[in-house]
Chains A and B, each alone.
Chain A
Amino acid sequence: MTERYDCIVVGAGPAGAAAAFTLAKAGLDVVVFERGEYPGAKNMFGGILYSTVLNRLMPGFWADAPVERHVVKRRYSFVSNDSEAAFDIRLDAFNRPPFNNSFTTLRARFDRWFAAKAEEAGALVVTGAVVDDLIIKDGAVAGVRVRMEGGEVFADVVIIAEGANSLLAEKAGLKPKPDSANMSLGVKEIISLPKGVIDDRFGLEDAEGAAVEFFGEALGPGVPGGGFIYTNQESLSVGIACPISALKEKGIKPNGLIDGFKRHPAVSRLIRGGATEEYLAHIIPEGGYNAMPELVTGGALLAGDCAGFVNPSLYKEGSNLAMASGVMAAETVMEAKSRGDFSKKTLEGYVKRLEESFVLKDLRRYKDAPDVLRSTTGLFKDYPEAVMEMLTRHFTISEESKADAHKELKRILKGRVSLLRLAGDVLRLRKFVR
């Protein structure tokens, strides 16, 4: 198979499929290599597809795409070891198109659909095809080596959209192996429940969905990270995410961590009676702006997770950034083609496009988030207990005078955490809650 294309895309995740779709629509000859048996076979995420970019590519896509539910309800739940304080929001506007561009989704279904759309647009999608190497000629990327008989394939340019486990980009020296402090592990279970039970339990109807995020001691005292429950049509996505460095340092087993999370009363109430259908795990790049690799080299661009495009604030927003970067990589390739120049200098236009878009604007805005979240250890330790104790006192009906109760509140807080530290942490964190 010695062939030549305008563009080769490695990986049929959201980044690769968006790039291929865009290029094929513009009439370029594009081939996508995906190592999975089908697109999505290797992919998992928490479960909310953010879709502003997709809705631009295919307006009203939700009528056709295998999305589960649109998220009308968000709940932020702060938990201590056994109690919960939560903030709930449900907005009617989210019940109307474009549904706040937030849809619960299962990747094995969605990625397959999206790749099929790229195929319909004219891209060639080859599954079961592992790309093992980039072919370098005269100092620039000229093609890829696919693991099959005579698998050298050439193109003017290669879009590397291989995801967070960036073997290719690292092998080619485009980025170092990521640091364990900049990478989290997410572990999830798909837990099935009848639709009616999910609707009643979460207060939903029809295609309405809910997203619950758990903070504080969701993973146990002093363990950074958090948990989530998202509603699908007839199942829940129940999972946790924790920095690899913390897992390593504390010697925590991820399977034990998700089991513990499922046992927390705030969680077990919501998943009661459900049956686990699948067990999944994947890494999430969370280093943000400061950990970003070089985005282009002669003849190649990095898009999506392999470029580290995940918003490292409290939201694990990656799908939208992946698609946006895939589209911008494609547009850059189209421009390069019209100039007949695929040098690093021309491809740098990609970085400019990203800088002007929400992708790098947001990553820059949240660039200190990884460090701040890491250093605010109180978030996962002293605060949950202190907050819960304060709330317990506040809501407990007693004959203690309000003035005395107030004094007592202050004492509790002071005893637990220094007010100065709390004030500092609140200020530092405020920025990252949008």
Chain B
Amino acid sequence: MDKTPKPLTLSEKLFLVRFRVDSTSHLAVNQEACKACADRACLTICPTEVYRWDGAASAVTVSYEGCLECGTCRIACAKGALTWRNPSGGFGVCYRFG
């Protein structure tokens, strides 16, 4: 009998992380650059899938609330179209283990 529990989905994993959500986003993208961006690396490279492509609006949506502040998207965006600011002091991810 296989007792292995089903692997957690990403939202289940995020549910385990403690966040103090800031009132405004610490992440911003330049939608004009994103429209013209060939690889849209941010959509795949974020470990919590903060960035999604909204086909109808032809724009990148940014769910900053689930950001682990790992720093990857800023390095990955070759266009320099991504503005990364530290969230307000004490806000954002608060690891319990680390």
- Residues of A at the B interface (CB closer than 8 Å) are 35-38, 40-45, 106-111, 127-130, 132, 147-148, 164-165, 167, 177-180, 183, 185, 187, 189-190, 235, 244, 247-248, 251-255, 259, 262-263, 268, 272-273, 276-283
Contacts and interface: CB of A to CB of B under 8 A. Distances in A.
A253 B73 CA distance: 12
A280 B72 CA distance: 13
A43 B70 CA distance: 9
A340 to B, nearest CB: 33
B23 to A, nearest CB: 14
B98 A183 contact: no
B55 to A, nearest CB: 18
Of residues B47, B68, B90, B92, which shows the largest number of chain A Cβ atoms within 10 Å of its Cβ?
B47
B56 interface: no
B75 to A, nearest CB: 5
Contacts of B69: 42, 165
A252 B97 contact: no
Contacts of A44: 95, 98
A277 B12 CA distance: 10
11 contacts: A42-B93, A42-B95, A44-B98, A108-B95, A147-B88, A165-B69, A167-B84, A177-B74, A255-B49, A272-B4, A276-B16
Contacts of A35: 86-87, 89-90
Interface in B43-98: 44-49, 68-72, 74-76, 78, 80, 84-98
Contacts of A128: 89-90
A201 B1 CA distance: 21
A185 B89 contact: no
Given A130-B86, A255-B13, A278-B16, A164 B94 contact: no
A128 B4 CA distance: 40
Contacts of B20: 37
Interface of B: 3-4, 7-8, 10, 13-14, 16-17, 20, 39, 41, 44-49, 68-72, 74-76, 78, 80, 84-98
A406 B35 CA distance: 58
A262 B10 CA distance: 14
A223 to B, nearest CB: 14
A109 B96 CA distance: 8
A37 B72 CA distance: 22
A165 B87 CA distance: 13
Contact of B97 (A247, A263, A277): A277
A41 B86 CA distance: 13
Nearest to B85: A167
A278 B96 contact: yes
Contacts of B75: 177-180, 183, 244, 283
Contacts of A41: 93-95, 98
B89 A279 contact: no
A278 to B, nearest CB: 5
Contacts of B44: 247, 251-253
Given A130-B89, A248-B45, A106 B74 contact: no
Contact of B48 (A255, A277, A278): A255
A43 to B, nearest CB: 5
A45 B97 CA distance: 10
B44 to A, nearest CB: 5
